[in-house]
Amino acid sequence: MVHHAVVSREEWLRARRALLAKEREATHLRDAVNAARLALPWVRVDKNYMFDTAEGKRSLADLFEGRSQLIVYHFMLGPGWTAGCPGCSFLADHFDGTLPHLNHHDVTLVAVSRGSLESIEAYRKRMGWHFPWVSSAGSEFNFDYRVSFSDEQLASGEVEYNFEPMRVGERDGDHEESPGLSAFFKDEDGTVYHSYSSYARGFEELIGTLMILDRAPKGRNEQGTMSFVRRHDEYGDAPKAACCAH
């Protein structure tokens, strides 16, 4: 049963043109936000962060793979975990197809988790992914970029997340790992700079599925932020598309 206003084509066009004005306003605002993001000052990275990779130990500078720009997705797969966060997995489902385009545009994309390289590789195999994914186990990288929290920090009742103090328990699923995205630049002399980080819903536009759902008749149809999301091998029977028998 339809539970929505049903109008003539002329009335729909008037409503759609009014929405178009808002969409154009949002596009212009996004352009302004993107320009402000590019204008942010940078911070020189002085620590020698090391990561476990399939090719052995690699530094942060090594992760650029010869390119000048690096995007790090802070993937929630902590020490001892056997599976990654469902939300991070949902986002990561969108990575592989972007790699040829990003690499051609002088950008390397890599996921970083505190879990062991063995647990990362096992979960990557389960999910069928191919994007670069390394372990920061034993490094301060995740803690310095405010996506991992020590037992002491959690016990204090307050952590810094998304650039502001947050009381432990204020958001669903509070634990030692949180999602994030960070960007880095490597100069010709090898110096690495941190240019940007984003947390919480700040990188939601990377999830193409959500952008498509936003244009579907029922939108995201969720009972809380991304409440419908499962790992892609954990969905039950999906609704069947209405079609004619052949």
Position 70 scores a pLDDT of 98
User: Does 94 fall in a domain?
Assistant: yes
Position 166 scores a pLDDT of 83
List the beta bridge partners of residue 158: 167
Position 244 scores a pLDDT of 40
User: Does 164 fall in a domain?
Assistant: yes
Q: How many residues does the chain have?
A: 246
Count of the separate structural domains present in the chain: 1
Position 242 scores a pLDDT of 44
**pTM of model > 0.75:** yes
User: Does 36 fall in a domain?
Assistant: no
Q: How far apart (Å, rounded) are the C-alpha atoms in residues 122 and 171?
A: 29
Taking alpha carbons only, the member of 102, 107, 139, 135 closest to residue 120 is 135
List the beta bridge partners of residue 176: none
**CATH number of the domain encompassing residue 188:** 3.40.30.10
Q: How far apart (Å, rounded) are the C-alpha atoms in residues 63 and 49?
A: 11
Task: Give the angle 119-120-122 at the CA atoms, nearest 5°.
Answer: 65
Position 171 scores a pLDDT of 53
Position 160 scores a pLDDT of 85
Position 222 scores a pLDDT of 78
Task: Match 């952590």 to its residue by tokens.
Answer: 159
User: Does 17 fall in a domain?
Assistant: no
State which residues form the domain around 125.
48-205
Amino acid at 99: L
User: Does 167 fall in a domain?
Assistant: yes
Per-residue pLDDT of the chain (246 residues; tens, 9 = 90+): 667 899 999 999 999 999 999 999 999 999 999 999 999 999 999 999 999 999 999 999 999 999 999 999 999 999 999 999 999 999 999 999 999 999 999 999 999 999 999 999 999 999 999 999 999 999 999 999 999 988 888 888 888 888 888 888 665 444 789 999 999 999 999 999 999 999 988 989 999 999 999 999 888 887 877 788 899 999 886 444 444 433
User: Does 29 fall in a domain?
Assistant: no
User: Does 1 fall in a domain?
Assistant: no
User: Does 15 fall in a domain?
Assistant: no
Position 181 scores a pLDDT of 97
